Structure formats: C-alpha cells, structure tokens
C-alpha cells in the first residue's frame, strides 16, 4: 500500500504548504488538471491562475499532466500557455512516461518533482512509478467522468486518506 501513500494531503491546491515542499527540495510541480486545478472539463478560475503565476514567480517549475483529451480543452490550454506552463494531454497515467517527460521539459530530475492530484490510482500511484512524491488533494467537485467515479469506489476501499 505504500505505492498509494501521498507525501502529504491538502483540501485544495491553495492549501498546500509550498514553502515546505521547497525546503524538501521539491521545486518541480506537476499538476493534474480535472478536479485538481479546474472543475471537470472547465477552465482555470482567476484565483487558481493567480496562484500558478505566483508559484512561477517564486521559482517553482510548473507543468500539467492530464489524461484529458486536448481537443476538448482548448480554453484551459490557452490559459496555461499564457502562463508559460507546458501541458501534457493523454498522459496515460499512472504510467510514468508523461511524468518523466514533464520533468525533462522542466529541466528537473524526478526526485525534485512532486505530482499534485486528486486520485490515488492515477496521480499518487503514477508519481511513485516515476520515482516522485505526490500530494493528494480533495476533488473540487463530485461531477467527473464515469470511470473516475468508479475508481473513487476503489479508492475508498483502499482507504483514500
């Protein structure tokens, strides 16, 4: 079960202690998209966009790694491009390839990165498979893909927190 254990947890991305992450040598932040940064299928809200801009200004390296399809996410892709944040869509999480590719894009080693997401079986497991740590946040909204809802049941069996 250690493969499903997060480095730390938080209610939302805004509640994460980024100073503590920096102190631990974790400066490459790989965010999940749906129900972590945005509502499922939605765009960035101004508060989240501001937080991402602030993190970049504090020297963190940011990327988004998502299993979402790019053709359905043109608005959020535009918003992230304006912030200078690379996005990897169709990531095939929990497979480690997209996480490692994001680290390469950011010029970071996996051990310097942390995956921030709302799912045990994609974000936390994928982080461990890529040699990274993970922060598990609560989903922003109960509305999500039917397969994700199914996986939430399995998460509860494994003891989400």
The CATH number assigned to the domain holding 20 equals 3.40.50.1000
Rounded to an integer, what distance in angstroms lies between the CA atom of residue 101 and that of residue 120? Answer: 20
Average of pLDDT values for 69-85? 87
Q: Which structural domain, as residue segments, surrounds residue 54?
A: 2-158
Global confidence as pTM: 0.86
Phi and psi angles of residue 34, each rounded to the nearest 5 degrees, phi first = -65, 125
Structure-block tokens of residue 20: 């503590």
Domain tally, the chain: 1
Helix (H) or strand (E) holding 6, with range, is: none
From edge to edge, which strands make up the β-sheet containing 113-117?
Answer: 8-10, 133-137, 113-117, 28-31, 61-65, 87-88
Among the ranges given (36-40, 125-129, 147-151), the one the predictor scored with the smallest mean pLDDT: 147-151
Residue 33: partners with Cβ closer than 8 Å, 6 or more residues away:
64, 66, 68, 73, 76, 87
| Local confidence band at 161 (pLDDT 50, 70, 90 cut-offs) | very low
């Amino acid at each position: 079960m250690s493969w499903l254990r997060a480095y730390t947890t938080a209610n939302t991305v805004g509640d994460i202690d980024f100073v503590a992450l920096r102190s631990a040598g974790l400066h490459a932040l790989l965010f999940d998209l749906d129900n972590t940064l945005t509502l499922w299928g939605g765009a960035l809200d101004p508060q989240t966009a501001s937080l991402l801009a602030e993190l970049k200004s504090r020297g963190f390296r940011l990327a988004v790694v998502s299993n979402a399809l790019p053709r359905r996410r043109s608005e959020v892709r535009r918003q992230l491009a304006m912030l200078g944040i690379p996005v990897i869509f169709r990531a095939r999480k929990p497979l480690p390839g997209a996480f490692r590719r994001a680290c390469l894009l950011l010029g970071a080693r996996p051990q310097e990165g942390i995956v921030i997401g709302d799912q045990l079986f994609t974000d936390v497991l994928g982080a461990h498979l890529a040699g990274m740590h993970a922060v598990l946040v609560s989903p922003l909204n109960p509305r999500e893909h039917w397969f994700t809802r199914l996986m939430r049941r399995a998460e509860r069996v494994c003891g989400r927190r």
